[in-house]
Structure 1
Amino acid sequence: MLLHVPDIIGLLTSLYQTLNPGGRILVVDFDKNEKISHDKVHNGFIQAELRKQFEEAAFRAVSSETFYQRENVFMNQDASMFILSAEK
């Protein structure tokens, strides 16, 4: 879902403010893929950089891992997907 969000930090800040204390957010998205280029979506994310953005938005217990890889799944390119978890 974050692929379509131009202001990631703004969204994360809003989500953090909306969550109840101890609330958890799960994000499933694509790992960065340099073969993808489109002016309306990100070409995936580097997990370490995204975890840092979550931490900058005050989330804690941020973790992520790749769980899926498939051919021709992201704009007709091979891609992998990750799940990220964070807590307020």
Structure 2
Amino acid sequence: MNEGIFNEIAKRYDNEDHRHLAGVILNELKQHLVDTEDKVLLDYGAGSGLIGLELADQFNKVHLADVSSEMVEVLDKKITLGNTGNAEAHEMNLLEKDTLIKADIIIMSLVLLHVKEHQKLIQKLYDALSDGGKLYIVDFDKNPEVTHPKVTNGFTHENLKEMMSNAGFENIQVKNFYEGKEIFVKTDATVLIASGDK
């Protein structure tokens, strides 16, 4: 994962396209996140908090984690400005160092495509979940038309199910929920959500 690139874009991350797609993803996640008022949420790869911060009022505690120190600064400012007392920002790279945070629910939205070690990261997320916890991965469905040296061109349902199963997840479900124009490296793409229980 290239922290430098994300540091550069941190301050202009909340553009209209990102806000729109985040809103679509947020609406999908909210359908799954019920009775969470006493739960701890970890938004891994939170970026500028377009999703995790919007969910803060549904949880007891929200941890917003990102590899980019500048993204974390943006998050800290948003937390302060929004007076979001139950949210905390963390600089975190689970591929390099484990976390002491234990979450009941982990969400990871449009992050896996930026990572080379997919299986390792999914395993680290499993380890960061409390027993009985749940992981939600939002990413792009496999798209052979996307070619970019710094991202994976999406994931098949079977591939995600296999990686999640290998990490120990059960009751794994994957479904497509949105098709958008030029949303993935300026290419039309389909967004999926995968979930699994620890």
TM-score w.r.t. the length of structure 2 is 0.44
Aligned counterpart, 1:54: 164
Q: Which amino acid in structure 2 is aligned with residue 3 of structure 1?
A: L
Answer 1 or 2: which has greater strand percent.
1
- Identity, % of aligned positions: 38
How many angstroms apart in 2 are the aligned matches of 1:73 and 1:40? 16
How many angstroms apart in 2 are the aligned matches of 1:5 and 1:60? 23
Aligned counterpart, 2:115: 5
1:18 alignment partner, one of 103, 124, 128: 128
How many angstroms apart in 2 are the aligned matches of 1:39 and 1:10? 20
Q: Which amino acid in structure 1 is aligned with residue 162 of structure 2?
A: K
Task: Quote the offset at 1:85 in angstroms.
Answer: 0.7
**5+ long unaligned stretches in structure 1:** none
How many angstroms apart in 2 are the aligned matches of 1:26 and 1:46? 16
Higher relative contact order (Cα pairs below 8 Å, separated by 6+ residues)? 1
Answer 1 or 2: which has greater helix percent.
2
How many angstroms apart in 1 are the aligned matches of 2:132 and 2:195? 12
Local SS of the residue matching 1:66: strand
Local SS of the residue matching 1:40: coil
**5+ long unaligned stretches in structure 2:** 1-110
Runs of 4+ in 1 over 4 A off after TM superposition: none
Equivalences for residues 34-49 of structure 1 within 5 A: 34-49=144-159
Note the aligned Cα RMSD (angstroms): 0.8
Task: Quote the offset at 1:44 in angstroms.
Answer: 0.4
How many angstroms apart in 1 are the aligned matches of 2:134 and 2:119? 17
Partner deviation per Cα, 1:32-66 (whole Å, 9 max, x = no partner): 11111111110000011111110011111110100
